[in-house]
Structure 1
Amino acid sequence: MAYDPQNVFAKILRGEIPSAKVLETDGALAFLDIGPVNKGHVLVIPKVEAATLSELPDDASAHVGALLPRLCRAVREATGAEGLNVIVNHGEVAGQTVHHVHWHIIPRFRGDAVRWPWPHDSYDGDELERMRLRIAAALGPASSSS
């Protein structure tokens, strides 16, 4: 999917659209979602142009990853949440609606309207090992065999 520099998050980064910022660094911005799953729902976006997580440079991903524990602690404390979902939707089929990679930090409460868990599948025969080998091959020669 091609990056669209006119997406809403790019406009927020350029200051063309206001946001309720909770944290900003040289490499990322965290702000409240205006259509929250639960109140206190925070979005975290890197300040680089990448439509999906697989397009994001490793250093930009590492920067956002380093912010997530701190943001999670703050969301839990501020909302009194019993738990959190930290989610990246990768591509439209996975629910991504804004084509700028972003993380959701969603405060969760017992009895809230969000349904979990997702349905699960299983592997048959040697299917697990075949899938492992395919993913390891896609990672390249630096991947681990164990």
Structure 2
Amino acid sequence: MTDTEAACVFCRIVEGVEPSQTIHEDDHTIAFLNLAPATRGHTLVVPRAHHRDLADIPPDEAAHVMRATVEVSRRLAGALGARGVNLWHASGETAWQSVFHFHVHVVPRYTDTDLTPPWTEIEVPVESLRGLGAEIRRFRPAPRHLL
């Protein structure tokens, strides 16, 4: 385990040296209940290998995490009677990432009001997005471009 991994609480959970309530695991991922749950059953799905964020994780590893996320979402909804599920991911401190090991939050939803939306949706005319769309399409990131 590298110094970065040794300092990472999620790496310690993967290694089995930090306790967790694991609800799913496979060769590439592990999923465990969040210690600070937004709702009952709030679960984190993480790759076994340490990747800091979305810019750092290789696409094939991210695909493994998403497959596990689908499985965990189905398990939570069925076992807990959740009527919906929210997925949440944050990459970078500005985006509220607090543990710098790639992860996806799976948040079971039971009512329309058990969470507050993190933003307010205000629709704008599609024409006003033309310049922004062109700017994004022109950008070609370098491999593993940092966020």
TM-score w.r.t. length of structure 1: 0.83
Measured at CA, do residues 121 and 4 of structure 1 come closer, stay the same or move farther in structure 2, by a change above 3 Å?
farther
Measured at CA, do residues 109 and 56 of structure 1 come closer, stay the same or move farther in structure 2, by a change above 3 Å?
same
Q: Corresponding residue for 2:70?
A: 69
Structure 1 stretch displaced more, 46-55 or 95-104: 46-55
Gaps of 5+ in 1: 141-146
Runs of at least 4 residues off by over 2 Å: 120-127, 137-140
Gaps of 5+ in 2: 142-147
* Count of aligned positions: 138
Measured at CA, do residues 120 and 19 of structure 1 come closer, stay the same or move farther in structure 2, by a change above 3 Å?
same
Measured at CA, do residues 139 and 63 of structure 1 come closer, stay the same or move farther in structure 2, by a change above 3 Å?
farther
CA displacement 1:50-87 (0-9 Å, x = unmatched): 11112110100011112222211111011111111111
Q: Corresponding residue for 1:4?
A: 4
Residue type of the alignment partner of 1:4 = T
Q: 3-state SS of the aligned residue for 1:39? A: coil
How large is the RMSD of aligned CA atoms in angstroms?
A: 2.2
Q: Corresponding residue for 1:93?
A: 94
Q: Does 1:128 align with 2:116?
A: no
Q: Does 1:33 align with 2:34?
A: yes
